Structure 1
Amino acid sequence: MTKEMDLREMALAILMEVTQNGEFSNKVLNQTLTKYQYLSKQDRAFLSRLTEGTIERMIELDYIINQFSSVKVNKLKPVIRNILRLGVYQLKYMDQVPASAACNESVKLAMKKGFKNLRGFVNGVLRNISRQLDTIPYPSKVAMPVAYLSVVYSMPEWIIKNWLEEYSFDVVEKMLQASFAERETTIRCNTNKISVEELRKGLMEQGVLVGDGTYLEEALKISKYDSIQRLFGFSEGYFQVQDESSMMVAHAAGIKKDNLVIDVCAAPGGKSLHAAQLLEGTGKVIACDLTDYKVDLIRQNIQRLGYTNIEARVQDALQFDESLAEQADVVIADLPCSGLGVIGKKNDIKYNITPESQKELVALQKEILKVVNKYVKKGGTLIYSTCTVNVEENVKNVEWFLNHSDFVLEPLTEFLPERFVKREESDSTMTKGYLQFIPGIYHTDGFFLARFVRR
């Protein structure tokens, strides 16, 4: 068996776990890469590109297959369906793979999986696609804008329709384009342990490509590396992976020395750890989450970064802790959400969310806000945030909370870094007290935050 066959077989196994068993793609891919640590950097890159690319382009791949298959995609056997998806992705998006290899290896894979009788079908569909790839008709951008955006950017139509009600066509297309753009990993320097320049130097000496953050001095953008855990300073706690939009939460909170900060849905702990960093060894952060597993993730990061002013505890955000009533200077409520702002990093989210589950999340966010606002002392701050661009989960929830609490919005401009405010000063919502980061317009994930103060 060839090495290429091994890699394609691994890719198929990952796809089956994701599409048939509902597993998260990043989790299954990471497990596979950990299991097969002997893979070279090149092989790891090939496997990651093939699996992640096939998943993020799945709607388009299915559209193409349906133009050439006598049996529609949703009627095919799951193994054959995923073999064809992998084959079409290689044909359309992996220039380094010869068309003959993409077809031949797909046929071999079908035979290996016990579908010898379907080898002619697999071969015929892929060969026909290969010959006509450049002339496949797509939905019209003008006459069928929803279908066009759905197929070209592999986004479910119901999400496209929702977004077009909330944003212009151009903004929606920019968001979708951004989800496919190659992106660096953003890290936050733990300035309590090392300077930004020292961290930059150590990473560059490893051959890592390092650039400045767009908005924040403590942020760096890194690329051209193999494993985050093997990087300079990771085990020493010199940095934490965190998007700049997420870093804005601790800044927007206006954290001061000796504050008590409560993060109610904290795992894996990025915002809690940032808050602890800004406290400079004073005060206290209480980082809560629902399960032992999630809280263990926070504790691992606390131990790695070496903070002593932060405590992680298992606490259901829907259950009020009387002992913390009106005790917090700052409450961070980064709540469960649809996650549609981070589809560029978690490409299977768009297939798993439904209109019904999104409505359930909006209701859950309100229920949590009803509880956790009681931890804020008079004059204290509540930061509400999500990693989505859905108006119902963001601005609409802000309006609801203002009408159902004794909190008011406070302008963000004096709390956010000057570099950011100057660069994005045209966004008037900052002066209102909330901010929607839109991928493709801002240089961040899709993210929302609002700053409330208790009267």
Structure 2
Amino acid sequence: MTSGINTREMILEILLQINEEGEHSHIAIRNALSKYQFLPKQERAFITRVCEGTLEYRILIDYIIDSFSKITVDKMKPPIREILRSAVYQLKFMDRVPDSAVCNEAVKLAQRKGFYNLKPFVNGVLRTIARQMDELEYPSRKVNLVRYLSVRYSMPEPLVLRWLNDYGEEVTEKMLADFLEEKPITVRCRTYLNSVEETCESLRNQGVKVEPAPYLPYAFRISDYNHILALDAFIEGKIVAQDVSSMLVSEIANPQKGDYIIDMCAAPGGKSIHLGDKMEGFGTVDARDVSRYKVELIQENIHRTDSINVQAHVQDATVFDVESECKADIVLADVPCSGYGVIGKKPEIKYRSTAQKEEELVILQRNILDKAAEYVKPRGVLIFSTCTIAKEENEENMMWFMNNHPFKLESIDEFVPDELKSETTSLGYLQLLPGVHGTDGFFMAKFRRK
């Protein structure tokens, strides 16, 4: 380890934080790397890749370990479990690291962590896997499709079964494969401040690879850079990191100069700033969120982008704000959700889902939509959106809302690109699916108050 830091020990600590303490993966990785900012780029990349990969492929990795170990993964002590998982990830997916080095480093790490008596166990399991992994038989597609897809794409069986029922085999497999794809970050060029050409040129001058993202002329995918915070276009507020699916929300909202807009669950502020940009600095976007921490994230982005018509403050979306009653031209309710549409970016989501959590989320979403309805002016617009692909949270909530409030769906065909137009967009809603539409999984519906 050239930096004097044991990178594998860092990986172990990060994985324990995520899997044992419930930390979000992107936060655990970011915090660890910012603590050791002097680490060379290569070591930072290694840590990130092994942590993310071990998490993404956990079900497949556990299947491999359980096939060769007398003690099953769920019976192991947490540090040994994570040492083996990250080692198996390297054995299976990283050709650059010699198998012998992976095994030796894992054994040394077990000893460093005080598991001296388990060194032979760690050594034996990993050397057997290194020798025999290619001969391992995986579940058969013909015998048990759910089990096959679960192990092949490392997705819990209940989610696989549910999506097979909702979307069919072909679409489900496309989504599962897409969740495991490495994706460049997507950014929105702020066209009302700068031309797209100038912004892209600035990025390319710093060695960034810039490619058009689908659907929107101001959306681009960027790669081959060390840190977004070091890019001039980012520092100067010319770009905002945002998925295309999230950009489409502001397109269908179609704000007019001078509108008063409430964004109820706004952190980190990408949509609020986009809505403000679409009004070219006029009107007001009232960006709200539940905690001081979340509002500070929005304020950082407002400050960086110098968004003069966006303001942020703490307001719990489940608590009725009498001052806002019938005030807003547009209300955006991008409600908390299961997040199944962004599993590709936050893989721990798939391991933490439960039926009870989802039922609680639906109740929370309806509570927020109840309040949102009260803030919309007569003939005003309510946009309801989520980053999930769960029908209970999306279409079922949409129908519930229309049955309980004086709103009707309004066609969004005018605001979405031709490739996305369908029967549902003419009605007023759109479900984007990962692997099918080239975006995150995302749902949006547009209501007009009667």
1:435 aligns with 2:435: no
- Match of 2:64, as an amino acid? I
State the Cα distance separating 1:136 from its structure 2 match: 1.1
Which residue is 1:262 aligned to?
Answer: 262
Shift of 1:140: 1.2
User: Normalising by structure 1, what TM-score?
Assistant: 0.97
- Alpha-carbon distance in 1 for matches of 2:297, 2:22: 22
Using the TM superposition, give the Cα deviation of residue 342 of structure 1 relative to its aligned residue in structure 2, in angstroms. Answer: 0.2
TM-score by length of structure 2 reads 0.98
Q: Partner letter of residue 444 of structure 1? A: T
Task: Give the structure 1 partner of residue 419 of structure 2.
Answer: 423
Segments of structure 2 that go 5 or more residues without pairing to the other structure are none
User: Aligned equivalents of 1:250 and 1:165: distance in 2?
Assistant: 31
Query: Secondary structure of 2:48's partner?
Result: helix
Match of residue 402 from structure 2: 402
Q: Distance in 1 between matches of 2:206 and 2:38?
A: 20
C-alpha RMSD of matched pairs (Å) = 1.2
The structural deviation recorded for 1:119 is 0.9
Q: Deviations over 1:11-55 (max 9, x none)?
A: 001011111111111101001111111111111111100000001
Equivalent AA in structure 1 for residue 223 of structure 2: S
How many correspondences in the alignment?
450
Within 1, Cα distance between the matches of 2:34 and 2:98?
28
Distance across 1 between alignment mates of 2:214 and 2:4:
39
4+ residue segments displaced more than 4 Å: 1-5
Conservation of the 8 A alpha-carbon contact between 1:5 and 1:109: no
* TM-superposition CA deviations, 1:392-434 (whole Å, max 9, x none): 0001111111111110001110122xxx2x2233x32111110
1:93, 1:269 → 2: CA distance? 36
Conservation of the 8 A alpha-carbon contact between 1:5 and 1:105: no
What is the identity, as a one-letter code, of the residue corresponding to 2:127?
R
Q: Which amino acid aligns with 1:423?
A: E
CA contact (8 A) 1:66 1:73 kept: yes
Cα distance in 2, alignment partners of residues 444 and 85 from structure 1: 30
Match of 2:207 in 1: 207
Give, as a single letter, the amino acid of the residue that structure 2 aligns with 1:434. Y
**1:244/1:444 contact within 8 Å kept:** yes
Indicate whether 1:92 and 2:92 are aligned: yes
**Per-residue CA distance 1:339-369 (angstroms, 9 max, x = gap):** 0000100111111221110111011101111
Q: Residue 359 of structure 1 corresponds to which residue in structure 2?
A: 359
Residue type of the alignment partner of 1:185? I
Name the counterpart of 1:33. 33
Letter in structure 1 aligned against 2:434? P
Alignment of 1:345-356 (within 5 A): 345-356=345-356
Alignment-mate amino acid for residue 411 of structure 1: S
407-416 vs 336-345, which moves further: 407-416
Distance 2:10 2:423 in 1: 49
* SS in structure 2 of the partner of residue 341 of structure 1: helix
- Aligned identity (percent) is 50
The equivalences for 1:299-314 within 5 A come to 299-314=299-314
> Which amino acid in the other structure matches residue 424 of structure 2?
T
Amino acid at match of 2:388: T
In 2: Cα distance, 1:5 partner to 1:38 partner:
10
Consecutive unaligned residues of structure 1, counting only runs of 5 or more, are none
Q: Is contact 1:57-1:153 (8 Å) kept?
A: yes
